[in-house]
Amino acid sequence: MQIPPKFEQDIRQKHTNLVPAVYIHTYGVGSSPDIYMSTNSLDLPFHSGSQAHWRPILLNVPSLKESIDIEKRNYKISSVNIDISNAPYDGTRFSELVNNTSLINEECRIYWISPSVTNIPEQPNAAPLDDSAFQVYFGVIRRYEHDDEKVKLVVEDRSQAKLHIDLPHNTLE
């Protein structure tokens, strides 16, 4: 992980002011547009210059969970729980943004934004610019639940796709 220089400068200060931002990239025919949300209302562009309004609908700072059991040789895939307000914002609820499409298996990225940040990196593994936000997580949405007040997303690290192997590998006739 590379930390953008201006972000690193900001976190070395005596007082820090970090804001989480969550970006859900949707794919497919008839899918809803990409979703940008934070705990604060932000207008922060991507590297390419495309503008994004980050809706202030995050209810909490996403928390990351990961564990490794060395004795049993078990690795639990890291996951993040994201709580989102489903109250109307600009006349639209989060569940209405999604419409009838599923968020399952959609990309989700979580960033930390500091006062010197002026843009968001577009590629998950691209080298950050000096004034980029710091990407702390990249995963896919595995669970999506909502009611009239709250939406809960469970996002898993993409490592499961790389670590999972279907067995048996070879079959004998």
pLDDT at 133 over 80: yes
| Mean pLDDT, all residues of the chain | 82
Partners of residue 157 on adjacent β-strands: 139
The residue-averaged pLDDT of 71-100 equals 84
Under a CB-based contact definition with an 8 Å cutoff, are residues 109 and 37 in contact?
no
Tokens at 129, concatenated: 């610019």
Q: What is the pLDDT of residue 149?
A: 92
pLDDT at 160 over 60: no
Q: What is the pLDDT of residue 121?
A: 83
pLDDT tens sequence across 37-67:
999 999 988 877 788 889 999 998 877 766 6
Cα gap 37→50, rounded to integer Å? 16
Q: What is the pLDDT of residue 33?
A: 79
pLDDT at 76 over 70: no
Q: Classify the C-alpha dihedral 74-140-90-55 as positive or negative.
A: positive
Tokens at 58, concatenated: 């995050």
Q: What is the pLDDT of residue 5?
A: 87
